[in-house]
Amino acid sequence: MERKPEWLRKKRIADPNVETVEKLIKELGLNTVCREAMCPNYGECFSSLTATFMILGRNCTRNCRFCNVTSAKPSPVDREEPLNVALGAARLGLRYAVITSVTRDDLPDGGAAHFAETIGAIRAESPDTAIEVLIPDFRGDYDALKTVADAGPDVISHNMETVASLYVEVRPEAEYYRSLELLERIKKLNGSIRSKSGVMLGLGETRGQVLELFGDLRKRGCELLTVGQYLAPSKLHHPVVEYVRPDTFEEYGKTAREMGFAFVASAPFVRSSYKAIEAHIARQDG
Residues 177 and 216 sit within 8 Å (Cβ to Cβ): no
At 4 the pLDDT is 79
At 179 the pLDDT is 97
Q: Is residue 44 part of a domain?
A: yes
Q: What are 221-235's pLDDT values in tens digits?
A: 999 999 999 988 778
Q: What are 143-189's pLDDT values in tens digits?
A: 999 999 999 999 999 999 999 999 999 998 899 999 999 999 999 99
Q: What are 44-95's pLDDT values in tens digits?
A: 555 555 567 889 988 888 877 777 677 788 989 999 999 999 998 898 888 8
Q: Is residue 187 part of a domain?
A: yes
Residues 85 and 131 sit within 8 Å (Cβ to Cβ): no
Report the distance separating Cα 27 and Cα 198, nearest Å.
Answer: 31
Beta strand pairing status for 31-32 and 52-55? Answer: antiparallel
Report the distance separating Cα 196 and Cα 264, nearest Å.
Answer: 10
Q: Is residue 137 part of a domain?
A: yes
Residues 115 and 109 sit within 8 Å (Cβ to Cβ): no
At 29 the pLDDT is 76
Residue 236 in this model has a pLDDT that exceeds 60: yes
Report the distance separating Cα 195 and Cα 156, nearest Å.
Answer: 5
Type of residue numbered 191: G
Among 140, 150, 143, smallest CA distance to 183 is for 140
At 286 the pLDDT is 45
Report the distance separating Cα 23 and Cα 138, nearest Å.
Answer: 32
Domain count, the chain: 1
Q: Is residue 232 part of a domain?
A: yes
Q: Is residue 1 part of a domain?
A: no
Q: Is residue 151 part of a domain?
A: yes
Q: For the chain, what is the mean pLDDT?
A: 86
Q: Which domain holds residue 87?
A: 6-285
Q: Is residue 90 part of a domain?
A: yes
Residue 145 sits in a domain whose CATH number is 3.20.20.70
